[in-house]
Amino acid sequence: MSISENKELVLGFFDDIAKGNIQGALDRMTEDLRFTLIGTTRFSGVFKSRKEFVDQILRPWGPNSKVR
């Protein structure tokens, strides 16, 4: 995949998240993704699979989330 294709994929992922299209964002992920959220929040870290990212990041921020 080229740099421009990677960029388009990542921008599309964040656009899907912003629009609430979680399934669209998930469809852009491979099972073996590596996703890094920088910072010092409880959500910061390196996620080494789609499942890990979904379980630790997306699920807690779901529609009925109480995350503050």
> Coil, strand or helix: which one is 24?
helix
* Domain co-membership, 35 together with 68: yes
Whether residues 42 and 58 share a domain: the answer is yes
Tell whether 35 and 24 lie within a shared domain.
no
- Between CA 51 and CA 48, with CA 53 as vertex, the angle to 5 degrees is 80
Same domain, 40 and 18: no
How much is the pLDDT for 67? 47
pLDDT in tens, 4-13: 999 999 999 9
Q: What pLDDT, on the 0 to 100 scale, is given for residue 68?
A: 45
In angstroms, the Cα distances linking 50 to 3, 13, 16, 17, 66 are 21, 13, 16, 15, 22
pTM above 0.75? no
pLDDT tens string 24-46: 999 999 999 999 999 999 889 99
- Structural domain boundaries enclosing 3: 1-30
**Are residues 21 and 1 both part of a single domain?**
yes
Residues 35 and 9 in one domain: no
- Residue, of 22 and 49, whose pLDDT is higher: 49
The total of structural domains in the chain comes to: 2
